[in-house]
Structure 1
C-alpha cells in the first residue's frame, strides 16, 4: 500500500482536479486506486454506497478512480451552519455541532476517526491519492492539524505541492509555503505542480529553473488552463458559465449564504438552451423565466436572508407574470407555509413562516435522511436519478400532487397551476431524460437532451489526458512505488 498526498498553496489551487486526474490516470493503468480527503469543509456533499455522507468533490474523484464513493474516503466533513459553527460528519454520520474554537479541542477525536478510515481504505486498495485542505502553511491552524501535513506525517507519505499561476504570484506561493513548514515537512514535499498556465511555456521556463535551484525540488509539470472545464466543485459557486448558443430559458438562483449542493446546477450551466445566473447579496434580481430556490444547510436563516433582500416580493411578481419556481431540498421546504425547528437542529429553535407558495409544513427532526434514489417523473416515463441529504419531514396537501415517483414512495410537490414545484432530490438534472422533461415543465420548448453524467466522464478523460501530456507521470508513479 502506498499513499501520495496532493497539497496546495491556497484554497482552489487545483488540488481536487489533480487528485481526480491522477485517479483516472492510475485507473487506466489498471491500478486499484481510491481518493482520500482527511478533512473537508464544504456544503456540497454526496451519499455513499454505505449510506454515509462525504464531500461532493471526493465522490467525483471516486468516479475518476472507477469505484463507488465510500464514507472512508472523507472521514471528517465539516458543514458550516454559521460564521463560527458547523455540523460535524465523522465517517459519514452526523457526530454533532461544534463552534470553530471548540473544534480545535475536538481534533484528537477527529484524528482517530481519520486514521482509522485511512487504514481501512488502505487495506482495500493498492494506492491512495490523498488531498489536503486549504494550505499547509496556515500557521494559526497548525496545532493538531489533520488536514495537511498532520496527516502526511502520520501516514509517512510523500507530498506534491500545487500552485495556481492564473491568480498570480505562483513563485511566492510555492517558496513562501515551503518557508513556513518545518524541516520534516519540507523534506516530505517531493516536487511542485504549476496549475492553470496560459501562454508560451518558454516564457515560464526561466522561472521554473530558478524555483528548482532555489528550493532544490523538481517541478513535475505545468498544467495548462483548461477552457470550459466543468466538474463538480468542492464548495465555491462558479462565477461564470459556458457561452450559450441559444439562450432560450433564463434561470435565476439566489446565492444563499448557506447554499448547499449547488452542483445541482452544473447540468444547467452546461445546457445550450439555458442561461443560469446566481444572484448574490446586494445584486439586483434580474427578470427570469424560472427562479430556483436551492438547497440550504440552514433553512430558516436562509429564508430570513431571502426576505431581507426582497426575494418574496420578486417571486410573487414573477409568478403573476407567468414565471415558474422550483425549490430543491431546503428550497423546497422554504416554498411551504411553515418551517419548524423546535429542537434547534439547524439554528435557533422556533417556527418561522415560509414563502407560502405550497400548502405544506416542514418539521425538522433528528436523523438526517441520506439515500441514493432512482425513479421517474410522476405520470411520465422520464427516468430520474438523484440523492437526498436533508433534515426535516414535510407534510401537507401539496404532497398529493408529487413531482417524482420513486417506486416505493413519492417525492416533491406540484402546485395546482403547475407554476410552483419542489423536490428533495439533488442531482435531478443530471439524467438526460429527467433534465429534458423538467425543463419542458419549466417552460423550455423542445429542450435538447444533455447527459451530465456522460459529460463528467468526458471531462475526466480529458483531464487525465492533460496530466499525461504535461506532468512527469512516470516520476510521480515512482513516488508511489518508492516514496522518493
Structure 2
C-alpha cells in the first residue's frame, strides 16, 4: 500500500489544484508511481473517464501530470451545482441523487464508505497518493460529518500540509487563524504549512515564515513564487475563468451563471491571433466579435433565462444580423433551438421553455445522462476530432440534417441553412489541433502551429521544476505515510 499526503488550503481558490498537479509531476519525475485524489469536489467543470464516469476536471489534469488515465476513484464524490442551494451528486462517476445543501450535509457521513473504498484502491496501485482538500478545514460549521478535509484526513490517517495564499493578503492570519479555531485533533493532523503565490523577493518573507511557525507550531515546507503560466492550464471552477489571447479574431463568450466545462475555450485562448473575451453579467457582447460561443451549462433552462436577463439574446440577434457566427456547445447548443422540453424536471422545473430560435431544433431533456469519450470527423471532410459527451438532452429537428460533426459513425449537432449558426454536444473539440484549425479557417483565420497537448505537458514540467526549486520535496515525502 502506497503512502499518502494531503494538501489542504485556507480557502477556495488558493491554488490547491495546481500545486497538487505540480507535485504529482515532480514526484513522477523522481521515479514514483503517483495518483491524485480528491474525496469531494464541487465543480461543473467535469471530465469523462474511459469507463464512462465523470470526475472533476482538476483531477483529470492531475492524472495527466501523473501520466495515468483519469479514473472515477480519483474523485469519488462530485457535486455539480444546479442552483444556489441544490446540486447533482455524482458518486464514483455516476449520478447518485440530487440534494439541497442541508439535505446533502445530513447524508455526507454515508458517503465516507465510498470515499474510503476509492482511496484504498488508489493506494494499492501507487507509491504515493497526493490528496487535495476542498475549501477550508477551518469552516467549523461544516466540520460535522466532513469528508472533504479533516474528516477524511483523520478517518484515513493522512497527514496534512496546509497552504495559504499570500496574494490575497493576510497570509499570516490565514494560517495562524486556522490553528486557533481548529479542534486539537485536527490541528495535530497538520504536519506542515506552505505559502503560495508570492510575488517578489521570497527572502523578504523569512520573518513571516518564522512568525507563522511561532503561532502555529507547524514547520514550513516552502514559499512558492507566483507561477505565471498557470493560466495555460485548465481551471477547476468558475473563479478561474478569464479572458485570454490577443489578435484580430475576437471570440465572445457570455459567462453563464451555471457555466460548465469551460475548459473547452482554453485552446482558443492560446491560439496565435485569437482573442477570447469572457463577458461578465451586466455587460454587452462586443459588437466586433467574429464568433459568439454559447458554452456548456449545468442548467440549460436556468441559464437561458439568465442570458435573456442580461440582454444577451438581443446582442446575439444583432451579431447575426451583422454577419457574425455563433457556436453552441452542449447546453449552449440546446439554447439555440426553438424549444427545450423538460417533462420530468431533470434540468430544474418541469415544463417547456422557448429557445433562442436560431436553429431549427427541438431538445427534450431525459433523466439518463450520456457520458463517453468519442472520436470522429468534421462534417463535409476528413478533418479528425475527438472529445467527450456529457449531457442529458436529446435533440432533433431539420437543422440536424446538416450536422457539424460525425462521431463514431453517427451525426452530431446542427447547422443553420445560412451556415452562420451551429451547435454540437462534443466537449473538448478545440483541443484537437486539426479541428481547431479547420473551424477557425471557416472564420477566415489561419491557425498557427499550436500543439495544445504539448503546451499542457510542457507547462506541467515547468510547474514541477518550479516546485522543486521552492518547496522541500524531501520533507513532503517524509511527511507522507
Partner secondary structure for residue 223 of structure 1: strand
Give me the TM-score of the superposition, normalised by structure 2: 0.97
**Are the aligned partners of 1:335 and 1:358 in contact in 2 as well (CA < 8 Å)?**
yes
How does 1:209-224 map onto structure 2 within 5 Å?
209-224=210-225
| TM-score normalized with structure 1 length | 0.96
Partner of 2:270: 270
Q: What SS is found at the alignment partner of 1:217? A: coil
Provide the C-alpha distance between the structure 2 equivalents of 1:434 and 1:137, rounded to a whole number of angstroms: 46
Contact preservation (8 Å) 2:245, 2:276: no
- In 2, are the aligned partners of 1:341 and 1:363 still within 8 Å (CA)? yes
Which residue matches 2:446? Answer: 446
Which residue does the alignment assign to 1:284? 284
* Deviation by residue 1:208-248 (Cα, 9 ceiling, x = unmatched): 1222233222111111111232211111254544552xx11
- Counterpart CA distance in 1 for 2:137 and 2:240 is 24
Match of 1:461 in 2: 461
Q: Which runs of 5+ in 2 are unaligned?
A: none
Distance 1:417 1:239 in 2: 32
Q: Which residue of 2 aligns with 1:208?
A: 209
2:431 aligns with 430
Partner residue of 1:56?
Answer: 57
SS at match of 1:166: helix
Whether 1:327 and 2:328 are equivalent positions in the alignment is: yes
State which drifts further: 405-414 or 345-354.
Answer: 405-414
Tell me the CA shift for residue 101 of structure 1. Answer: 0.6
Per the TM alignment, residue 257 of structure 1 is displaced from its structure 2 partner at its CA by 0.6
In structure 2, the residue matched to 1:353 is 354
- Who is 1:102 aligned against? 103
Q: Please say if residues 248 and 444 of structure 1, whose CA atoms lie closer than 8 Å, have aligned partners that are also in contact.
A: no
Equivalent in the alignment of 2:255 = 255
Aligned to 2:408: 407
1:382 CA drift (Å): 2.0
| Number of the residue aligned with 1:303 | 304
What is the CA distance between 1:434 and its match in structure 2?
Answer: 1.0
Query: Is contact 1:242-1:269 (8 Å) kept?
Result: yes
Structure 2 residue aligned with 1:181: 182
Contact kept, 8 Å, 1:361 with 1:394, in 2: the verdict is yes
Secondary structure, counterpart of 1:283 in structure 2: coil
Offset at 1:144? 0.4
Partners in 1 of 2:254 and 2:243 — Cα distance?
Answer: 16
Q: Distance in 2 between matches of 1:263 and 1:431?
A: 13
Choose from 237, 258, 263 the match for 1:235: 237
- Aligned equivalents of 2:54 and 2:23: distance in 1? 23
Instruction: Please tell me whether the aligned partners of residues 7 and 162 of structure 1 are also in contact (alpha carbons under 8 angstroms).
Output: yes
**Secondary structure of the structure 1 residue equivalent to 2:196:** strand
Mean Cα displacement is larger for which, 271-280 or 260-269? 271-280
Post-superposition offset of 1:427: 0.8
In structure 2, the CA distance between the partners of 1:112 and 1:464, relative to structure 1 (3 Å rule), is same
Q: Deviations over 1:338-371 (max 9, x none)?
A: 1010000010000111111111111111110000
- Size of the aligned set, in residue pairs, is 478
Moved more, 273-282 or 341-350: 273-282
126-135 vs 207-216, greater mean Cα deviation: 207-216
Equivalents in 2 of 1:237, 1:326: separation in Å?
23
What is the CA–CA distance in structure 1 between the aligned matches of 2:239 and 2:386, rounded to whole Å?
A: 23
For 1:239 and 1:453, locate their aligned partners in 2 and report how far apart those are by CA, in whole Å.
20
Asked if the contact 1:332–1:422 (Cα under 8 Å) also holds between the matched residues in 2, the reply is: yes
Partners of 2:83 and 2:244 in 1: CA distance: 31
Partners of 1:382 and 1:189 in 2: CA distance: 52
Local SS of the residue matching 2:238:
coil
Tell me, yes or no, if structure 1 residue 160 matches structure 2 residue 138: no
Q: Distance in 2 between matches of 1:96 and 1:48?
A: 20
CA–CA separation in structure 1 for the residues paired with 2:284 and 2:292 = 14
Conserved 8 A contact 2:242-2:278: no
Structure 1 residues 240 and 339, CA, compared in 2 at 3 Å: closer, same or farther?
Answer: closer
CA contact (8 A) 1:20 1:64 kept: yes
Report the Cα distance in structure 2 between the residues aligned to 1:446 and 1:398, rounded to whole angstroms: 28
